[in-house]
Amino acid sequence: MKTEIKRQLVHLFFGLAFIALLVFSGLENTKLVLGTGLVLGGLTAFILSKGHRLFPFSQIVEIVGRDTEEFPGKGALSFFAGMLLTMVLFNSEQIVLGAMLVTVVGDAFSTLIGKKFGKKKIIENKSLEGSAAFFFSAEFALLLAGFSPATSLVVALSGTIVELIPFEDNLTIPVACGAVLTFLI
């Protein structure tokens, strides 16, 4: 299995675990877990960036890390930071849930489908097929979570558009979707 596919499966697994934590444990407990994860992850990334090995994190980074990342674990740290920032900015379980669903499900499926079936390039490494997978999977996840069809459509479309921006999507997608949800619900 290619590294990017493994990476997205890990992203999906942990993202869904954080969504479950949010649903079953509430916003404050999820903030605490993500905040702790961000601090410990930052310390771990610092140690790894100095060339030290730290079991099991060194092995995980070797399996799912990107060679192009400026420092080890950058993707995971930006994911934690994006989710935590969304929780702090919007402080609403429903808004955070929607933003997390779009980020976790849409981003994972866009990469999984785009890498396998993506033929029509839109921007840089983004394909029409990957963007369609983002949109439909995010919309479906929102509908399953009880968001209205209109809200699901607008938020999924917003996330799809923001995902095309060549910036750290773990930060931009949840914040943008949280802002859109704030106006819609």
- The whole-angstrom separation of Cα 63 and Cα 162 is 28
Q: Tell me what pLDDT residue 7 has.
A: 76
Q: Tell me what pLDDT residue 23 has.
A: 97
Q: Which residues of the chain have pLDDT under 70?
A: 1, 3, 54-73
Contact 185, 151 (CB under 8 A): yes
Q: Tell me what pLDDT residue 71 has.
A: 58
Sign of CA dihedral 118, 121, 127, 132: negative
Q: Which helix (H) or strand (E) holds 143?
A: helix 128-144
Q: Tell me what pLDDT residue 61 has.
A: 62
Contacts of 135 (CB under 8 A, 6+ apart): 106, 156, 157, 159, 160
pTM score above 0.85: yes
Q: Give which of 39, 60, 156 is closest to 104, Cα–Cα.
A: 156
Per-domain residue ranges of the chain: 3-184
Q: Give which of 30, 36, 35 is closest to 18, Cα–Cα.
A: 30
Q: Tell me what pLDDT residue 68 has.
A: 63
In a 13 Å sphere around the CA of 69, the CA atoms on its Cβ side amount to 20
Q: Tell me what pLDDT residue 49 has.
A: 75
